[in-house]
Chains A and B, each alone.
Chain A
């Protein structure tokens, strides 16, 4: 199918809004052709994952966009960068990389993006309306935006997110088309232990299983009788999008496009039903840990996606004024950090041994100390997935309560009742 561009879109591609916007429109159009999209649609907002430093080329691309005074055409929040610009934490990037990472973050701000620096923009005031078309990047932000907010986005990769934000348009295909948002697979958790479903590790573990089982299909979780809360859906989406290629999930009776199972299926028969068993859950939980030595921990990391204000409340109540013997890295954005400032909460957490990491996180930039054979404990399915490859740390998976107790006692502790 040939791509049909409007006069306005063709004019932008020819340079009517400058060479940066022209390059952005060429990239959007090339992607539309690649994916077989018939046209481009206007977008209401964007979330940009491209400001994380992976090498010099990404910085040079951003600076090329900046040339000629290019600006984003829609609201655009920024995902994490490689540097903690708040100064809460320090990282070990060498001087050249630090300089290039800083230049990259600067370039995206010059393009007019908001310096939100978070992977949880949806908890930092950026919540597009149900049914609106947007161009969001970062796998957890994408899946939350589609699934929990019901706004429509494909999984926009680096470069395409900023290109769409500058052009103001996105290719019309995939999850922008209402019919394509239909669940085809039922992920039935009704036979699982109800105590597990109520536990705080349930949703990251289920998400990890869901991602592996579903791949890039759209599934609907059935058998959930109580709304698990936004932070649980956040953890589920993040885990599913790191273990698989999930861009949209539904939870019958919980998420906005699934008031009930039949609606999520668009009143059609499912292609498959996955009956989740307690054994599948136990296996999924085991797979989250990679450490050979389950008796050692060197660090604890939480906050992938970034901790919300209520997750900080929970952290404070679990620490209960005690000293941590092992550093606990709490990754968050400025939106949640602001609530900890000014009333001594941040100082009190830091005095306990919490290292707050803002604007970035411990798996995207070298913050964790380089220790041979080191082990990281985490409650995040996403950290569990990426930490071994990106940090060299082995992983032990546990609940936030288990993570805190382990940090207090300097050894992995399991089965705390909290």
Chain B
């Protein structure tokens, strides 16, 4: 299948991490470890680093982009980010990271209903946004 590219970035092959609840990156992800820090989140304690992070939605703070920029610059970012809909608050982190000279993960748009097929699968994402599972 092929996803719409929201922000250009690096092609990747990585395990999917499908979150089952929306998350606020600020307060919800620790920028020094890449672990989900929100104690009320179902995936609390799980690392997003190097995963194809599938987000059913984002909530909360407008500092999400800052956390994503820190994750990118510390090599703790997800390998790719798949969103149900474009989110300027989060994806600004990637746009600014590129302005700062970093290589960034790709951001893609897909219907959240398609995320179920990615659970516990390894995904291969090409530069044109096509996604294959293995």
- Residue numbers of A with Cβ under 8 A of B are 23, 26-27, 30-31, 34-36, 49-50, 52, 54-58, 60-61, 64, 137-139, 142, 154-161, 171, 211, 215-216, 241-245, 287, 290, 363, 385-386, 388-390
| B contact residues around A26 at 8 Å (CB) | 99
Q: In the bound complex, how far is the Cα of B40 from the Cα of A243, in angstroms?
A: 11
Residue of A with least CB distance to B91: A34
Residue of A with least CB distance to B70: A55
Identify the interface centre among A287, A363, A385: most chain B CB within 10 Å of its CB.
Answer: A385
A34-B7, A386-B27 are known contacts. Are A27 and B92 too (CB-CB below 8 A)? yes
A158 touches B7 (CB 8 A): no
Q: In the bound complex, how far is the Cα of B16 from the Cα of A163, in angstroms?
A: 33
B28 touches A389 (CB 8 A): yes
- Partner pick for B100 among A64, A157, A245, CB 8 A cutoff: A64
Residue of B with least CB distance to A386: B27
Q: In the bound complex, how far is the Cα of B8 from the Cα of A34, in angstroms?
A: 11
Interface of A is mostly: helix
B95 touches A30 (CB 8 A): yes
A27-B99, A215-B59 are known contacts. Are A155 and B27 too (CB-CB below 8 A)? no
| A contact residues around B92 at 8 Å (CB) | 27, 31, 157-160
Q: Would you give the shortest CB distance from A105 to chain B, in whole angstroms?
A: 14
Q: Would you give the shortest CB distance from B81 to chain A, in whole angstroms?
A: 13
- Partner pick for B37 among A56, A154, A389, CB 8 A cutoff: A389
Q: In the bound complex, how far is the Cα of B28 from the Cα of A352, in angstroms?
A: 35
- Partner pick for A55 among B37, B65, B73, CB 8 A cutoff: B73
B99 touches A157 (CB 8 A): no
A54-B67, A55-B73 are known contacts. Are A156 and B62 too (CB-CB below 8 A)? yes
A242 touches B63 (CB 8 A): no
A137 touches B62 (CB 8 A): yes
Q: In the bound complex, how far is the Cα of B73 from the Cα of A61, in angstroms?
A: 12
- Residue numbers of B with Cβ under 8 A of A are 6-7, 22, 24, 26-28, 31-32, 37-40, 57-67, 69-70, 72-74, 86, 88-93, 95-97, 99-100
| A contact residues around B39 at 8 Å (CB) | 290, 388-389
A61 touches B96 (CB 8 A): yes
| B contact residues around A243 at 8 Å (CB) | 59-60
B74 touches A139 (CB 8 A): no
B62 touches A55 (CB 8 A): no
A154 touches B57 (CB 8 A): no
A157 touches B65 (CB 8 A): yes
Q: In the bound complex, how far is the Cα of B27 from the Cα of A60, in angstroms?
A: 22
Q: In the bound complex, how far is the Cα of B31 from the Cα of A242, in angstroms?
A: 19
Q: Would you give the shortest CB distance from B109 to chain A, in whole angstroms?
A: 10
A31 touches B90 (CB 8 A): no
A242 touches B95 (CB 8 A): no
Q: In the bound complex, how far is the Cα of B48 from the Cα of A317, in angstroms?
A: 47
B60 touches A241 (CB 8 A): yes
Q: List 7 A-B contacts (CB under 8 A).
A: A26-B99, A55-B66, A156-B88, A157-B88, A159-B66, A242-B61, A389-B27
Residue of B with least CB distance to A244: B59
B22 touches A245 (CB 8 A): yes
- 16 more contacts with CB within 8 A, not counting A216-B59, A243-B60, A363-B27, are A34-B7, A50-B66, A57-B100, A60-B100, A137-B62, A139-B61, A139-B62, A155-B88, A158-B66, A158-B92, A159-B92, A215-B59, A241-B60, A388-B38, A389-B38, A390-B27
Q: In the bound complex, how far is the Cα of B56 from the Cα of A354, in angstroms?
A: 42
A160 touches B88 (CB 8 A): yes
Q: Would you give the shortest CB distance from B40 to chain A, in whole angstroms?
A: 7
Q: In the bound complex, how far is the Cα of B94 from the Cα of A57, in angstroms?
A: 12
Q: In the bound complex, how far is the Cα of B101 from the Cα of A61, in angstroms?
A: 11
- Partner pick for A27 among B27, B38, B95, CB 8 A cutoff: B95
Identify the interface centre among B28, B37, B99: most chain A CB within 10 Å of its CB.
Answer: B99
B69 touches A57 (CB 8 A): yes
- Partner pick for A155 among B62, B67, B96, CB 8 A cutoff: B62
Q: In the bound complex, how far is the Cα of B7 from the Cα of A161, in angstroms?
A: 19
| B contact residues around A50 at 8 Å (CB) | 66
